[in-house]
Structure 1
Amino acid sequence: MVTINNLRVAYGDKVALSITDSLTFDEGDRIGIIGSNGAGKTTLVKSILGVTPYKGSITTSLRQDEMAVHLQENNYVDSMPIRYIIEGVLNKSIKKEKKLQDLIQFFDMGGCLNKKFSALSGGQKQRMTIILVLLQDAKLTFFDEVTSGLDFETRQQLIHKLQEWYQDKGATICMVSHYYEELDHFVNKILILDEGKVIDFGTKEELFRKYCQHAIIILDNTPGNQEITKGYDTIAAPEHLIALVCQNEKAEIAIMQNLIEHDINFKRSNRDIEIMSINALQGGGKHAY
């Protein structure tokens, strides 16, 4: 669907994005794009959309009108009821457009149509913009920090709605987010960027096995836990956590039994995106593309 080769984006002397090897997004992919601020996530999205100048090659079977994007910031007229904003942006009548009616109902926005944009909650503002994006029924859609600034419960509700909407659709979705738990529930592939370079790209399962092996056991990083686990292999984790490596099921069971005997709380994972990405950045995946 989209293939990228030798892509380079620079702003003056600063290289914002440099992808030296081939990178392909296939039809039906659900791709999570992760990386710290300045990693090149939004630059990549804008390059594919054709709104940022670049050197190199981006080939796609899609027309420009078959791609859609939800950007981090979307501003509308505060003093106007959102009914008129929606109709004005789309140049469509809500009363005459069945799909638009369905989207408004699906995202529980029917009771908000007569409210001014300034009166909406953060979650409602995001849902309104998502309605505008989804009505395009694009074959490739980018969501750039779609839940940024929302509280945990609102974020969860919004991601659940997007999951439900796309459940039986073959569209390709690229979601830029720093909320790893959202990506875990929504995407099947992960693209890791750092300092404008691709660290790694693959399915969640492939990348987890590559950097974390069979499974990991996660527990609080306390002096007592450090003492009990000092004989085990560990991998990089957030400072407040210890991540123990399980090379196989037998090792996993042995570790868990020991922790249970010591009455230690822990979590077992074979898909933790945050810890996987930390180890990709620190390990052999560094600037692999």
Structure 2
Amino acid sequence: MLAIDRLQVRYGKQTALLVERPLVIGAGDRIGVIGSNGAGKTTLLKAVLGLVPYHGRIRTRLRPEDISVHMQQNSYVGTVPVKHIMSAILNTDVKTDKKLRGLVDFFEFQGCMSKKYTALSGGQKQRLTIILVLYQDAPLTFFDEVTSGLDFETRQKLMEKMRAWYAGKENALVVVSHYYDELERLADKLLILNRGHVAAFGRTEELFRRYCGRAVVTIPANGKNRALAARLKTIAAPGHLLAFPCTDEAEESRLTSLFIRENIDYRRSGTDIEILCSNVLSGGGPL
């Protein structure tokens, strides 16, 4: 569907993005792009869309109209009802377009159709843009920080709606986000960027096994737990946690039994993207 090879984007003397090995996006892929501010996430999106000059190759058989994008910032006319904005942008009749009505109902947006854009909440504004993007039913869609600025509950509901909408479809998604839980819900592949370079790319479960093991058990990073962890193998984790890799079921059983005996609350995960990213970026390499 789309292949990127030896891509370089420079702003003056600074290299903003360098992709040295091929990145391939295929039908049905759900790719999460993650990295800190300045890692190259938005630069990658702009390069694919032809919005910035680049060196290298971006190959695709898709036509421009086969690629749609949800940008982080969007502006619409604020003095007319939302239904008129939809009609103008999509060039359709809101009342008779069954596909559009289905999207409006699916995203529970019916009560907003007569409101002006300025009267919408942050979550409602995002739903409007998502409806406009999904209406195109493009084979490949980019979502850039689709839930930025929304509260936790609104983000969760919106992600559940998007996951349900795309379930079983062959449309490919590339989701740029800094929310780990969001990518755990939507993505089955990860592209981890660091200072403009590709730190890792592949299926989430394969990357997790490579860098974290079969599973990871985490406990709070307090004084008592740090003393206990001093004699155990740990891997990189956010500062408030201690993380222990489990290469097999027996090792996991030994760890959890120890924590139970010591009356320590623990959490087990085989998909924790935050822990995975911490270890990809720590420089320690795969297990």
TM-score normalised by L of structure 1: 0.97
SS in 2 for 1:173: strand
* Aligned-CA RMSD value: 1.2
Specify the SS of the correspondent of 1:235: coil
Distance 2:247 2:276 in 1: 15
Amino acid at match of 2:33: I
The alpha-carbon deviation at position 247 of structure 1 amounts to 2.1
Give, in angstroms, the shift of residue 78 of structure 1: 1.7
Is 2:162 the counterpart of 1:158? no
CA contact (8 A) 1:70 1:143 kept: yes
Which residue in 2 is equivalent to 1:145? Answer: 145
* Contact kept in structure 2, 1:90 and 1:132, CA below 8 Å: yes
Aligned residue in 1 for 2:57: 57
AA aligned opposite 1:107: F
Give runs of aligned pairs for residues 159-238 of structure 1, distance below 5 A: 159-238=159-238
> Does residue 1:2 correspond to 2:2, yes or no?
yes
The runs of 5 or more residues in structure 1 that have no matched partner are none
> Secondary structure of the residue that 1:264 maps to in structure 2?
coil
Residue type at the aligned position of 2:184:
D
Q: Tell me what 2:45 maps to.
A: 45
**C-alpha separation in 1, matches of 2:247 and 2:11:** 44
Instruction: In structure 1, give the amino acid aligned to 2:130.
Output: I
Q: CA deviation at 1:285?
A: 5.5
CA distance in 1 between counterparts of 2:139 and 2:219 reads 41
Call closer, same or farther: CA 1:4–1:285 in 2, change over 3 Å: farther
Give the counterpart letter for 2:208 in structure 1: F
CA distance in 1, matches of 2:94, 2:244: 54
Deviations 1:19-64 (A, max 9, x none): 1121111111000000001111111111112222211100011111
Residue 284 to residue 257, structure 1, CA distance change in 2 (3 Å): closer
Name the structure 1 match of 2:254.
254
Question: Matched residues, percent identical?
Answer: 50
3-state SS in 2 of match to 1:224: helix
Q: How far apart in 1 are the matches of 2:185 and 2:162?
A: 11
Quote the residue 1:112 is aligned against: 112
Aligned to 2:32, the other structure's residue is in SS state strand
1:25 equivalenced with 2:25 (yes/no)? yes
Counterpart CA distance in 1 for 2:268 and 2:15 is: 39
- Give the deviation of 1:284 after TM superposition: 5.4
Q: Which residue of 2 aligns with 1:241?
A: 241
Q: CA deviation at 1:86?
A: 1.0
**Mapped partners of 2:88, 2:99: distance in 1:** 16
CA distance in 1, matches of 2:190, 2:48: 17
| Structure 1 residue 14, shift from structure 2 partner | 1.5
Kept in 2: contact 1:200–1:285 (CA 8 A): no
The structural deviation recorded for 1:185 is 1.4
Q: Report if the CA contact (8 A) 1:199-1:285 is conserved.
A: no
5+ long unaligned stretches in structure 2: none
Amino acid at match of 1:105: D
* One-letter identity of the residue aligned with 1:177: S
Aligned to 2:66: 66
> 1 CA distance for matches of 2:168 and 2:253?
37
Could you tell me which amino acid in structure 1 is paired with residue 250 of structure 2? K
CA displacement at 1:263 relative to structure 2: 0.9
Residue 82 (1) aligns with residue 79 (2): no
Q: Which amino acid aligns with 2:13?
A: D
- The alignment covers a number of residue pairs equal to 286
- CA displacement at 1:228 relative to structure 2: 2.0
Amino acid at match of 1:49: L
